[in-house]
Amino acid sequence: MSQEQQDDPHYKKHVTELGDTRDIVASHDIYSQNGIKLLSAGARINSTMYERIICHKLNAPLEQSLSISNPVSSSDLSELAQRILHEHPLFERVHRTLPENFSLAEAVGKVQLNAPLGFKLAVARDRMEEMFSHGVETALICGFLGHQIGLDTQQSIQLVTAGIFHDLGELHIEPELLGRRDSLSMSERKHIYAHPLTIFLILQEFPDLYHPMVSTAVLEHHERLDGSGYPSGINQKKLGRLGRLLAVAEVVSSLYRSGADAEPSRIRIMLKLNMHHQLDAAAIGHILSVLESDKEEAAAKSVGIGKLQGIVQKMAEQFSAWDRDYQYQMQGCTDSKRLIFLNERINMLKCALEDAGLNFNRTEMIAEMFCDDTLEALELQGLAQEFVSKVRDIEHELKRRWPSLDQPSIDTGDEFIRSWIKRALKLTAS
């Protein structure tokens, strides 16, 4: 494990402050890397210890040196999973599609926890409750996908385990950054991009339990089939099977927890838009089969067809403007790599929107086609709204690959890129 990941101040602050309300004790003497004894075995940990340990690089990670009262156990995970299945409609529907002799809560209860990971989960439970619950929710979707895809018992347990652990790296990120993800600078966003690697480095310390299958799936849960994900930007040729399934489970769980996105119709739209290009199509198909039964919830909703037609027309104009000006800009720019990359992403976005139901060649027919079909119009409206979200994802990927895009440039290609993205991000607000 890199020392930067091991000795960050944010995790140490979580642990020492938790010691004010939980019994946390040094299980053995704790030393710095240069041999200074910092704490004796049996010492109680609390917030007064923070300044002492933050000044030193530790000889071992904290979770390998401390014990906590009431660590998270496999039975705790199973009990929380059972409550989620009873209290949340999406998860109840998912479970209802499975055979009666298969229990998702029991599948979660089969996760093996050693002492360090039981400790780390306890810190997550008590300091970042929403993230902890999100892990269990993701594990439930993982259990469902593992069963439907036909994974063997060992692979299914590994996938569910990866679901539990996948976001624990967020314990090592400044909490304030996690609270405003939509307004981060690129330098701040790099900390978010690192969280899969952080927990991967922790899990690889335990090859008997978690490495390489669980750790690799966790590392890949934000990667995408088209190479647009993070932290490594690898594509479908290098993504593992468990990583692909975990990515779908994480997206479904995140959408369900995100307020306005929690409606089944919105989840359907997002999944259809990401099929084939970014997320595993077979896994998405199994989720869609559960959500299709809830289409009637859209019946009472109203859709502004005229406004929707205008938005889709402007989307078509954005794509046409790019196609018209791209070759001209290629002739005048000093470095064409960014333009070529964005051209690929824009074409993939257009194809994804068309595959999901948008027809940019017949925008004038929208009012006639959908005036009597509220459900289809609602899904079309959702696709239009997701256009901006996908453009924002493309912008983040561009800046992740080429940080200089955030800086002023005399390159006409860079200015063209910034101008097109700016117009596209304003589209649905107009």
pLDDT of residue 375: 53
Residues 6+ apart with CB under 8 A from 422: none
DSSP 174-225: -HHHHTTGGG--HHHHHHHHTHHHHHHHHHTT-TTTTTTHHHHHHHTTT--T
d(C-alpha 207, C-alpha 69), whole Å: 26
Q: Do residues 305 and 366 touch, judged by C-beta distance below 8 A?
A: yes
pLDDT of residue 295: 53
pLDDT of residue 383: 75
pLDDT of residue 4: 45
CATH architecture of residue range(s) 74-295: Orthogonal Bundle (1.10)
Number of helices (H), then strands (E), in the chain: 21, 4
**Residue type at 355 in one-letter notation:** D
Tokens of 223: 């990667």
pLDDT of residue 305: 63
DSSP 276-295: TTTB-HHHHHHHHHHHGGGG
Per-residue pLDDT of the chain (430 residues; tens, 9 = 90+): 444 444 589 999 999 999 999 999 999 999 999 999 999 999 999 999 999 999 888 999 999 999 999 999 999 999 999 999 999 988 999 999 999 999 999 999 999 999 999 999 999 999 999 999 999 999 999 999 999 999 999 999 999 999 999 999 999 999 999 987 767 888 899 999 999 999 999 999 999 999 999 999 999 999 999 999 999 999 999 999 999 999 999 999 998 876 444 567 778 888 888 887 899 999 999 999 998 755 544 444 444 666 777 778 888 889 999 999 998 888 877 778 899 999 999 999 998 888 877 777 766 655 554 454 455 566 666 777 788 888 999 999 999 998 888 777 767 788 889 999 999 988 765 5
> Could you tell me the residue ranges of all domains in the chain?
3-68, 74-295, 305-429
**Residue type at 152 in one-letter notation:** D
Residue of 105, 124, 108 whose CA lies nearest to 116:
124
Q: Name the burial class of residue 341, with classes exposed (0-12), middle (13-18) and buried (19+) by CB atoms within 10 angstroms of its CB.
A: middle
Residues 6+ apart with CB under 8 A from 44: 19, 23, 24, 25
Residue of 234, 421, 414 whose CA lies nearest to 346:
421
Tokens 């959908």 sit on residue: 370
Q: Do residues 257 and 134 touch, judged by C-beta distance below 8 A?
A: yes
